[in-house]
Amino acid sequence: MHLTELNLTNADKDFVWHPYTQMRDWVKWNNKVIVKGDGFYLVDSEGRKYLDGSASMWCNVWGHTQNKVVQAMIDQLKKVPHSTLFGFANAPSIELAERLLELARGMHKVFYTDNGSTAIEVAMKMALQYWYNKGKEKKKEFISLDHGYHGDTIGAMSVGYIENFFRVYRPLLLNVHRIPSPLLYGSRFTNERDLVEWCLEKTENTLKRHKDRCAALMMESGAQIAGGAIIYPTGYQKKVARLCRDYDILLILDEIATGFGRLGNVVEYLAQRSQPDIVCFGKALTGGYFPLAVTLVTRRIFDAFLGKYRYNKHLYHGHTFTGHPTGCAAALANIENYQNHDLTQQIKVSAEYMASRLPEFSKSPIVADIRYKGLLAGIELTKNNKPIVFLKNKEIINYFIMRQALMMGVHLRPLGNIMLLIPPLGIGKRDLEKLVNVQLKLLRKIEKLS
């Protein structure tokens, strides 16, 4: 029987353990079961439509209906649904690697995985083994930014440590050296210039102190999203890249959430003029349709893994679905679609529209800070200088936002007290307008309840 014909009760829905979800509340909440897509909307089993206001966790580009990316996947599935990269190559993975290396200037080889977290794990293993293969085994520690987020696997949680999420898992995690994130809001600085100077000074001290023991510095490229929608000030990332070079510490850039257009640039590190040694992409790489991620390295890194077999210099990493031809075909069609639709220009126009609407939020007495770039905006809500956690009706603020948004026909996923505007990259004006309007209505409701 087709799912739409089922009358899904709460009990029926109760088989799946959802991510980052208190499952007791999930059952109470009567959450929705999505059965099909319609443009930038998702349609539930009762026929109700929800605008995809979270870009399906920041990855969706073209919406949820048939398009050239989907067709490319269907075509590939008909040719060969999967073939492993262990011992074989496959045509889409070669073509995609070639295409990615044209886009990501300065990079030399592409390693495939199937999600952002594992792309990060690979990057960390590569950095460690690079130094090992060079005879510098002592360089095995990592540096990362406060408020960074790099995924949910062990290495990724270590470098992207968010206390509230990962406290319990600490016994599993690596010790990582932290450097400050350039977030002006809530800092003791009144301007970005002084803040950046202070961050860079701290960063340089850390690099200097640990240069003989550190393999790499890991950071998100352009902005930290999960850690609070923190946009790097102009020139900051470039200067961090220079410090890494000066102290011979590899720079790993995480473009999993920011690459492929979120901040307005397909390759963010080029816009930031900060050449990494290793860079990761995921999420929007396939338009958000297939779990595929990549870790790209420079020639310097790759060459350190070459040698006679008995020297055992090769990289011991590989997943069953590494370089999945269907995912690679999706990514190739997606990249072609970016060009055919001049998506970066469309993102620019949408970003300008979104920015033009943000002053309507800043008028609110509970809006403490708005941070934005491209198609990302974070709106920080506070009362008496404290983050709003609970509302007068005793509801947790993020539950309230999600629940009310669904009632208004939009799917949202805020970061606690930070409202997030993070639409599908190819969204049209009318849908974007709806998304902004609904967030404004929600803000008014929260004002009354806080």
Ligand X SMILES: Cc1ncc(COP(=O)(O)O)c(C=O)c1O
* Chain contacts with ligand X (rule: CB under 6 A): 115-117, 120, 149-151, 220, 225-226, 254, 256-257, 282
Distances (CA, A) of 249 to 209, 244, 296, 298: 12, 5, 17, 14
Strands 376-383 and 176-179: unpaired
Helix orientation angle between 325-340 and 343-357, rounded to the nearest 10 degrees: 70
What ranges in 304-378 are assigned the alpha helix state H? 325-340, 343-357, 359-362
Smaller CB separation from ligand X, 220 or 277: 220
Cβ of residue 6: shortest distance to ligand X, in angstroms?
A: 29
Smaller CB separation from ligand X, 294 or 297: 294
Cβ of residue 392: shortest distance to ligand X, in angstroms?
A: 32
Q: Which residue is nearest to ligand X (CB)?
A: 116
Cβ of residue 88: shortest distance to ligand X, in angstroms?
A: 25
Pick the closest to residue 34 from 18, 10, 23, 50 (CA basis): 50
State the Cα torsion 330-332-336-337 to the nearest 10°.
20
What lies within 8 Å, CB to CB, of 443 at 6+ separation is 361, 364, 366, 367, 379, 381, 419
Smaller CB separation from ligand X, 257 or 379: 257
Smaller CB separation from ligand X, 282 or 323: 282
Pick the closest to residue 156 from 289, 221, 252 (CA basis): 252
Cβ of residue 57: shortest distance to ligand X, in angstroms?
A: 6
Distance CA 433, CA 262 (A): 18
Cβ of residue 389: shortest distance to ligand X, in angstroms?
A: 22
Cβ of residue 53: shortest distance to ligand X, in angstroms?
A: 16
Cβ of residue 317: shortest distance to ligand X, in angstroms?
A: 15
Cβ of residue 152: shortest distance to ligand X, in angstroms?
A: 6
Smaller CB separation from ligand X, 174 or 440: 174
Smaller CB separation from ligand X, 37 or 116: 116
Q: Is 392 left (phi over 0), alpha (psi -120 to 50) or beta?
A: alpha
Smaller CB separation from ligand X, 58 or 247: 58
First to last CA, the chain: 46
Cβ of residue 321: shortest distance to ligand X, in angstroms?
A: 13
Smaller CB separation from ligand X, 282 or 426: 282
Distance CA 87, CA 81 (A): 17
- Using the structure block, give the residue that is written with the tokens 């370089």: 323
Q: Which two tokens stand for residue 299?
A: 């020639």
Smaller CB separation from ligand X, 45 or 374: 374
Please say whether the beta carbons of 391 and 449 come within 8 A: yes
